[in-house]
Chains A and B, each alone.
Chain A
Amino acid sequence: MTEEDVVAENPILHHALRLGDDALILGQRLSEWCGHAPMLELDLALANIGLDLIGQATHFLNLASEIEGKGRDADALAFHRDVLDFRNCLLVEQPNGDFAQTIARQFLFSNWQELLMREIAAAPEPRLSAIGAKAVKEIAYHARFASEWVVRLGDGTDESRARLIAGLDWMWRFVDELFDPKDGAPSLRADWDARIARTLAEASLELPKPRRGIVGGRSGHHSEHLGHLLSEMQFLQRAYPGATW
């Protein structure tokens, strides 16, 4: 049986891997900022969000490992899979770019993740809902933080506005994947659209124009960026096989 078959057979494993990988990859991206943010308060805020996400990733990947029952723990899943077996959405692996691009990514993702996690927290699967219930509070803060910065940058200077528009433009291709009828959460689209539209209006920005969505992350067909992220993240585990740290 291939990895794809195993995942298809077990929807909870499927969910746990996707949620864990989303959180892990975005947490890794945010930790790249540490020490380099535009001001100290933002260093702290981005590290804080990154920490929350790495915590969520640990919980979801532990669950995935338990369900999978192959003796691969959360670290083995994080540090010993290659691109084709990662299940995160394309949005989270996008490069940080400038601060506006980072905020655009966080804004689109956290608003979606919050809606999704509320649903998971209320769902009958107890192992997923326990993790979801704790994560919801964290994610609500991430969404608020990102939305407030969208307003600041959109309604700030000409430069910040132009940079935010460019950041949203970079990320917008990857939105449809979040709501994909097969691998996404199509029922959340209307709520998400309303949230995004409200904040963009407050920032006096227009909604980006619809465009062809790029998908593939959920089935392991990622952007070129993920391989580089993994080669950095997995370096020690790959260079010293079998060592404990």
Chain B
Amino acid sequence: MYTTELKDKNQKSAALSVADEDPEKLAAFEARVAADDFIEPKDWMPEAYRKTLIRQISQHAHSEIVGMLPEGNWITRAPNLRRKAILLAKVQDEGGHGLYLYAAAETLGISREEMIEALHSGRAKYSTIFNYPTLTWADIGAIGWLVDGAAIMNQVPLQRTSYGPYARAMVRICKEESFHQRQGYEIMCVLAAGTPEQKRMAQDALNRWWWPSLMMFGPPDDKSPNTAQSVRWRIKRETNDELRQKFVDVTVPQAEAIGLRVPDPALKWDEARGAYDFGDINWEEFYAVVRGEGATAKERIQARTSAWEDGAWVREAAATHASKRAMRLAAE
């Protein structure tokens, strides 16, 4: 998920240029991609392709890791043993996704440390969705239902993305995302059928998470400068607006089925299109969150940075022990 192609801070020109590439190699590359061949780490690739992929995969990896925090906020307060186990397993899966994705990005010639440093310094982005707070237990339901639901929309087409290691990581990840979505929706079903307080929690969570979830698909196509090239390179397989529409069409009936109201007065079924019309998205809000002005942006980065800094002595100890051991073995 989370492949919203957020521009990094220092990235001036939107569409990365292929002007300097060897035209013959470029043509061969484009032909392979057009034929739905997988590109592997040792294959020739245009620099712009490599850079775009590093940005996209590392943003995705960071999103998985930062995404552990809003849900992690409720593991210790989960309401019963079953929910606690499911949530812990779910958040553990997200960590696993981060691990596969960092590994996939590393095949493009960047280290995990470099990527993490970019995240902590604010140079690298992660999905805007994780800069909103989880206030009640219903937020855990809403995240699974909407955020993982949106992730599935985004990620299913990426299982056929042109870069082999990324596509294979996506296959593993997608297997787990549908369980994430189901457990979230199930939480919402139970709350929506629960006490008046529980219904209120559920509706309030939908009210707060609906629009940010739609923003997860990224800017509208006419404001998304890299889309054409990314679609041609099979880094993206469907545009932001196409995926957003799909998500709305799948999700609205799910809300109605459990008696929750989608917080959009303009929402209405369009018979002719066979799709829902929906209201305007507040893109000002989206860009503000991209700039790091989200409600919990500081908390999220602070949590990641202190975990990393507080753990430095552990990583150092492990490395020191490993080299001591290697030296002892060599001396034997």
Contact = CB atoms under 8 A, between A and B. Distances in A.
B218 interface: no
B76 A232 contact: yes
Interface stretch (B77-85, B117-125, B227-235, B287-295): B77-85
Given A37-B307, A47-B91, A58-B85, A32 B76 contact: yes
A129 interface: no
A226 to B, nearest CB: 14
A79 interface: yes
A12 interface: no
Interface in B105-144: 137
Interface string B92-115: 100110110010000000000000
Contacts of B314: 38-39, 42, 99, 153, 160
- Pick from A32, A35, A61, A160 the residue with the most CB of B within 10 Å: A35
Interface residues of A, number: 49
A106 B238 CA distance: 48
A54 interface: yes
B267 interface: no
Interface stretch (B192-200, B252-260, B274-282): B192-200
B317 to A, nearest CB: 3
Contacts of A113: none
A170 B112 CA distance: 34
Contacts of B187: 245
B298 interface: no
Interface string A230-242: 0011011100101
Contacts of B311: 37-39, 42, 99
A57 interface: yes
B76 A152 contact: no
B243 to A, nearest CB: 27
A147 to B, nearest CB: 13
A39 B313 CA distance: 11
B77 A232 contact: yes
A36 B88 contact: no
Interface in B313-332: 313-318, 320-321, 324-325
Interface in B3-52: none
Contact of A153 (B102, B194, B317): B317
A78 B293 CA distance: 40
A110 B187 CA distance: 33
A40 B81 contact: no
Contacts of B88: 31, 34, 47, 50-51, 54
A65 to B, nearest CB: 11
Given A38-B307, A157-B317, A54 B99 contact: no
Interface string A41-52: 111100110110
Interface string B51-78: 0000000000000010011001001111
B81 A245 contact: no
Interface string A208-245: 00000000000000000000000011011100101111
A193 interface: no
A186 interface: no
11 contacts: A31-B84, A34-B72, A34-B75, A39-B315, A47-B92, A54-B81, A99-B314, A153-B314, A236-B79, A240-B195, A245-B79
Interface of A: 24, 28, 31-32, 34-44, 47-48, 50-51, 54-55, 57-58, 61, 74-75, 78-79, 98-99, 151-153, 155-157, 159-160, 163, 232-233, 235-237, 240, 242-245
Given A51-B88, A75-B80, 14 more contacts: A31-B84, A34-B75, A35-B72, A35-B91, A35-B303, A40-B95, A40-B98, A47-B89, A47-B91, A47-B95, A58-B82, A78-B80, A152-B317, A233-B76
Interface of B: 65, 68-69, 72, 75-85, 88-89, 91-92, 95-96, 98-99, 102, 137, 187, 190-191, 194-195, 197-198, 303, 306-308, 310-318, 320-321, 324-325
